[in-house]
């Protein structure tokens, strides 16, 4: 069984005079353990798609099945618990709370699930060296750099051991050295078995994934896989070529 399956997902936004088809008919499946990037031009519907998978938004039609459960039909009172148990989020702007220490920011989702403090501590101990955050835990978000904030946000996202890690432009606000560190972290988290779905505009970021989906005209227009022996540089060049071909097809 696939970890995630989207079937004919459609999302139409209706305002007073305008109807926008953000997603026409999205179909794809993700297996457990995959690292997938989603690319597409501005306005292609990437954030809409991620929000639907994140249960922050509902499709107009179609279904989203995660771990065998149709999440497009969850009741409101089931959604927040489901989100906390199954999903981890990393955003471009980190979304850390300045009034809490970095440690407490990381603990927050477990606190909300009433987890024992000993469990929180053990889980953080397992993560802190791998993420290079041991020295940052007693500081506050406003005392650390963007790259460091993103590492704290990643710790917060994975400490619940989510089935799926969702990232929306996680390197969008970072310089290239910090971006590289974050992308290497995603790679090692993925190699440890975590499934990752990342929206990005960056060719370099996308090339860390094993598979890239291109969204265009409201559908998954194209997808490419990294070859078993393909270098990251060659994969990046193929992503670039695919992007050029897709943008030429524009009306």
Ligand X SMILES: Nc1ncnc2c1ncn2[C@@H]1O[C@H](COP(=O)(O)OP(=O)(O)OP(=O)(O)O)[C@@H](O)[C@H]1O
Q: Where on the chain is the footprint of ligand X (CB under 6 A)? A: 13, 15, 20, 22, 40, 42-48
CB 110 to ligand X: min, Å: 30
Distance CA 43, CA 218 (A): 10
Judged by beta carbon, residue 20 or residue 122, the one nearer ligand X is 20
Judged by beta carbon, residue 52 or residue 158, the one nearer ligand X is 52
CB 222 to ligand X: min, Å: 15
Are 215 and 46 contacting, i.e. CB atoms less than 8 angstroms apart? yes
Distance CA 144, CA 133 (A): 11
Give 20's contacts (C-beta < 8 A, 6+ positions apart): 12, 13, 14
Judged by beta carbon, residue 109 or residue 218, the one nearer ligand X is 218
Distance CA 250, CA 8 (A): 23
CB 47 to ligand X: min, Å: 3
CB 14 to ligand X: min, Å: 8
CB 233 to ligand X: min, Å: 25
Judged by beta carbon, residue 180 or residue 217, the one nearer ligand X is 217
- Between the CA of residue 221 and those of 25, 26, 247, what are the distances in Å? 10, 9, 11
CB 147 to ligand X: min, Å: 22
Distance CA 239, CA 242 (A): 5
Closest CA to 172 of 145, 201, 144: 201
Q: Dihedral angle at the C-alpha atoms of 193, 6, 232, 245, nearest 10 degrees?
A: 180
Judged by beta carbon, residue 12 or residue 137, the one nearer ligand X is 12
Judged by beta carbon, residue 50 or residue 236, the one nearer ligand X is 50
CB 40 to ligand X: min, Å: 5
Judged by beta carbon, residue 41 or residue 104, the one nearer ligand X is 41
Helix residue spans in the chain (DSSP H): 46-53, 76-86, 102-112, 117-128, 146-158, 176-191, 203-206, 232-248
Give me the half-sphere count of Cα atoms (radius 13 Å) on the Cβ side of residue 1: 7
């Amino acid at each position: 069984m696939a970890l995630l399956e989207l079937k004919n997902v459609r999302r139409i936004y209706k305002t007073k005079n305008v109807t926008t088809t953000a997603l026409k008919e999205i179909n794809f499946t993700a297996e457990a353990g995959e690292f997938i990037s989603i690319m597409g031009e501005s306005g292609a519907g990437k954030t809409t798609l991620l929000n639907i998978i994140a249960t922050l938004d509902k499709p107009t039609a179609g279904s989203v099945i995660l771990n065998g459960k149709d999440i497009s039909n969850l009741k409101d009172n089931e959604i927040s618990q489901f989100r906390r148990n199954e999903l981890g989020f990393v955003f471009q702007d980190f979304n850390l709370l300045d009034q809490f220490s970095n440690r407490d920011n990381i603990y927050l989702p477990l606190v909300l699930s009433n987890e024992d403090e000993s469990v929180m501590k053990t889980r953080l101990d397992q993560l802190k060296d791998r993420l290079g955050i041991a020295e940052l835990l007693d500081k506050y978000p406003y005392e650390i750099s963007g790259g460091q904030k993103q590492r704290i946000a990643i710790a917060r996202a994975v400490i619940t051991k989510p089935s799926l890690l969702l990232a929306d432009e996680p390197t969008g606000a970072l310089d290239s050295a910090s971006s590289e560190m974050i992308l290497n972290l995603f790679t090692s988290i993925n190699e440890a078995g975590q499934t990752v779905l990342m929206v990005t505009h960056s060719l370099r970021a996308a090339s860390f994934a094993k598979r890239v989906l291109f969204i265009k005209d409201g559908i998954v227009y194209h997808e490419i896989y990294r070859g078993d022996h393909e270098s990251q540089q060659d994969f990046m060049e193929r992503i670039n070529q695919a992007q050029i071909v897709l943008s030429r097809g524009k009306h």
